[in-house]
Structure 1
Amino acid sequence: MKRYGVFFDAFIVRGKGFHADMLGKDGISLRNQLKGCGALTNWGFEYNKDGWEWKATFTQPLGQARCVGHAIQSVGGQNVQCQ
């Protein structure tokens, strides 16, 4: 899910079934991949939220949803669709 801001989009990503080595401790591999999409701010990562294995929250510059989807796939996500 993403919310629109003036210059940034706020994202909430929930996942399960990712290989721990690909996701990284506390989502560090995901965070590093997301940095390639532009300025990454307001990063938050939690395990065992809302029936999912993990939840990441962050903001990225406007128009980066496709890049965010690719970043999630690069750490083990499948059939990712960011809208």
Structure 2
Amino acid sequence: MTLNGQYVEAETGVGSSPPSARVGDRVTVLYDPAGPDRIRLEGFWAGGNGVGVLFAFLGLVFLVAAAAIAAFSP
């Protein structure tokens, strides 16, 4: 239910394995008041940020490896 009493049913577009919450758990849902069906769960890992952090870390690893190869190759 939104702040103005409107009931909304929506699904988040981001999932995880294992899930960030189990059926019956209380979660805080963040939504856009102009479009209450656009939602995300509160929390760093619940919003899909973990995937972004993982890809940023892997990119950094490949960047360092490429720089090391370029620096030491004849």
User: Shorter-chain TM-score category?
Assistant: under 0.3
TM-score (norm 1): 0.23
Larger Rg: 2
TM-score (norm 2): 0.25
Between structures 1 and 2, the one with greater strand share: 1
Higher relative contact order (CA 8 A, sep 6+): 1
